[in-house]
Amino acid sequence: MEGATPAAAVTVRDLSVRFGSTQALDSVSVSLAEGEVHGLVGENGAGKSTLGKVVGGLYQPDSGELEVFGRPVHRWDTRRAQDAGVVIIAQELCLVPALTVAENVFLGRESRTFGVLHANLRARYRKLEEICGFGLPPDAPVETLPIADQQKVEIMRALAREARVIVMDEPTSSLTADESERLHEIMRWLRERGTTVVYVTHFLDDVLANCDRVTVMRDGRVIRTAEAAAETKAGLVEAMLGEPVDVLLPDLPPAPPPDTEPVAEMRDVRGDAVRGVSLRVRPGEIVGLAGLVGSGRTEIARALFGCDRIESGQVLFRGEPVTDASPRASIARGMAMIPEDRRAQGLVLQRPVLENVTLPHLGRFSRSGVLSRGSERAAVRELVERLGVRPAALDGDVSVYSGGNQQKVLFAKWLLGRPEFLILDEPTRGVDVGAKSRIYQLIVEVAAAGTGILLISSELEEVIGLSHRVHLVRGGAVVGEVPGPGTSVDEVLQRLFEVGQPQQSPSADETETGGRP
């Protein structure tokens, strides 16, 4: 164990966290030393953010011990964490947009008498500014500042709370290379002051350049903690990957001949977070999109389905340019999309299974708007049985179904329309192993029946093993293509992490590799 470091700021032992059926952290033990910058790295879903959030008090552990500055803690939340000097800066910044910089910095820590504020806000801010020297305008509303400056406000806020441990969850994901470098300077400065910084990120170069020690996580477990100086990028990637997980991937149906007319096509599409994407999916073909969280995978799917506006470029369906892009028009043409967040975007949780399944197809089950409930029930019953939804009750309360069964309900919903083109965004996120293998089978069956599929998944084994071709997505653009079967996860991950390439600023990288691979 790493508890050997004499001055440990935070020590966790055998910490476990479960979310529903997912074991997010599985007896994790790690020790964060005083005055170090400690990197936390891992694949999507490896548990690095969860660990950061437990330390910061956002999540409560199910079991395990947490020790802060030598004191064991029992009840732990953000308030108690702050009192103990542990502050988390979440990926989505938590500032009040309309309040000024100074007001945000001292929010909740205002000096007051009987609730009346003292007029010393500026004096306190100046004192803090002498320490930090960020040079932010104290009276500017926070919403007028760029993200990087807002992050500094968060850091000042942490310092105003006399933070001795600051957890930064993916702080550079929305920063330019320049801004990231400045943040790294701040981290070094914090370290000199004796503050512990926990740096959760998936930019491995940044970790190697700026951290004292690195902890690698995989599948909710700590693989190892080591001196950053002793690590290499390739070594980190290897540790993050580990042994491939046992997933029973079904055999793919034969790929359609390459000269087949594509069912769906994007030509140099640009839009919100989509930066020049071209791709084509043929009938019966499964095309994967692999990328890290935030790489723009979902945005590409949304642009294709007509959810988000396209600024330039073209979407074609069966060779015809799409002029009236909207989910409604896409569905009418024979497209379907199972969205990323099944509870927020897929299901109407208050309504029973039956109503959820037939929702997009009520025209088929009604005459002059009056529903024919008999035929509706018959059609849904057949699908529920074919897909093995459990419980199989049509009037069942879908909000209490397990993740896997909710996902099957969504498959039933869209397969009922026999789509020619199906977009699957994270179809197995948070589902159990049994449902997963059923969903894999379904995907292959649907493709074998001639439907073109665009498959998005954070699980690389899944997206590689289930796709005929895999597009690599980074920064909203397709940066490469690999064949599905036969490609190693390692290779894809190396390319997604840009191992072996000189480090570039994200913006430069985008213009260079944007467009066709």
Partner 1 sequence: MTATASARAGSGVNVPALVRHYAVLIMLVALFVVLSVSTSSFLTLTNLLNILNQNAPLAIIAVAGTLVVICGGFDLSTGAIFSVANVVAAWVALHLNSPVLGLIAAPLAGAALGLVNGVAITRLRIHSFLATLASSLVYAGLAVLITGGFLISVQATGFTALGRGGIGPVYYAIVILALFALLSGFLLNRTAFGRYVLSVGGNAEAAELSGIRVNRIKLYTFLYSGLAAGIAAAIGVSRIGTGQPQAGDGMQLLAIAAVILGGTSIYGGVGAIWRSVCGVYLLALIDNGFDILNANPFFKDLTTGVVILAAVALSVASKRR
Place of tokens 């199989």: 392
Residue among 67 and 355 whose Cβ is closer to partner 1: 355
Residue among 371 and 448 whose Cβ is closer to partner 1: 371
One of 339, 452, 465, 514 touching partner 1 (CB under 8 A): 339
One of 140, 325, 349, 394 touching partner 1 (CB under 8 A): 349
Residue among 107 and 329 whose Cβ is closer to partner 1: 329
b (16+ CB within 10 A) / e for 296-305: bbbbbbbbbb
Cα separations in angstroms, 154 against 59, 102, 117, 188: 20, 11, 22, 17
3-state class percentages of the chain: helix first, strand second, coil last, to nearest 5: 35, 25, 35
Residue among 73 and 329 whose Cβ is closer to partner 1: 329
Nearest distance, CB of residue 359 and partner 1, angstroms: 5
Cα separations in angstroms, 501 against 179, 241, 385, 460: 21, 19, 50, 21
One of 345, 441, 501, 505 touching partner 1 (CB under 8 A): 345
SS (HEC) of 297-329? HHHHHHHHHCCCCEEEEEEEECCEECCCCCHHH
One of 105, 331, 387, 463 touching partner 1 (CB under 8 A): 331
Which one of 142-150, 193-201, 348-356, 381-389 is the stretch in contact with partner 1 (CB under 8 A)?
Answer: 348-356
Nearest distance, CB of residue 346 and partner 1, angstroms: 6
Which one of 213-221, 254-262, 268-276, 358-366 is the stretch in contact with partner 1 (CB under 8 A)?
Answer: 358-366
Distance, in Å, from the CA atom of 417 to the CA atom of 360, rounded to the nearest integer, reads 8
Residue among 411 and 497 whose Cβ is closer to partner 1: 411
- For residue 275, what is the DSSP state? E
Distance, in Å, from the CA atom of 424 to the CA atom of 426, rounded to the nearest integer, reads 6
Nearest distance, CB of residue 147 and partner 1, angstroms: 25
Cα separations in angstroms, 232 against 3, 152, 229, 244: 24, 30, 8, 21
Q: Does residue number 374 form part of the binding site for partner 1 (CB under 8 A)?
A: no
Place of tokens 């506006």: 309
Task: Measure CA 288 to chain center.
Answer: 17
Question: Tokens in use for 299?
Answer: 């945005």
Q: Does residue number 403 form part of the binding site for partner 1 (CB under 8 A)?
A: no
CB 497, CB 202: distance < 8 Å:
yes
Pairing outcome for strands 196-200 and 37-42: parallel
Nearest distance, CB of residue 364 and partner 1, angstroms: 10
Residue among 133 and 369 whose Cβ is closer to partner 1: 369
Q: Does residue number 334 form part of the binding site for partner 1 (CB under 8 A)?
A: no
Q: Does residue number 392 form part of the binding site for partner 1 (CB under 8 A)?
A: no
Q: Does residue number 307 form part of the binding site for partner 1 (CB under 8 A)?
A: yes
**Beta bridge pairs of residue 452:** 421
Q: Does residue number 348 form part of the binding site for partner 1 (CB under 8 A)?
A: yes
Q: Does residue number 344 form part of the binding site for partner 1 (CB under 8 A)?
A: yes
Interface size with partner 1, residues (CB under 8 A): 35
Q: Does residue number 119 form part of the binding site for partner 1 (CB under 8 A)?
A: no
Pairing outcome for strands 310-317 and 264-271: antiparallel
Query: Where is 512: in which H helix or E strand?
Result: helix 506-513
Q: Does residue number 363 form part of the binding site for partner 1 (CB under 8 A)?
A: yes
Which one of 1-9, 362-370, 438-446, 503-511 is the stretch in contact with partner 1 (CB under 8 A)?
Answer: 362-370
Residue among 171 and 419 whose Cβ is closer to partner 1: 419
Q: Does residue number 291 form part of the binding site for partner 1 (CB under 8 A)?
A: no
Residues in the site for partner 1, rule: CB under 8 A?
Answer: 305, 307, 327-328, 330-332, 337, 339, 344-351, 355, 358-360, 362-363, 365-366, 369-371, 373, 391, 393, 396-397, 400, 413
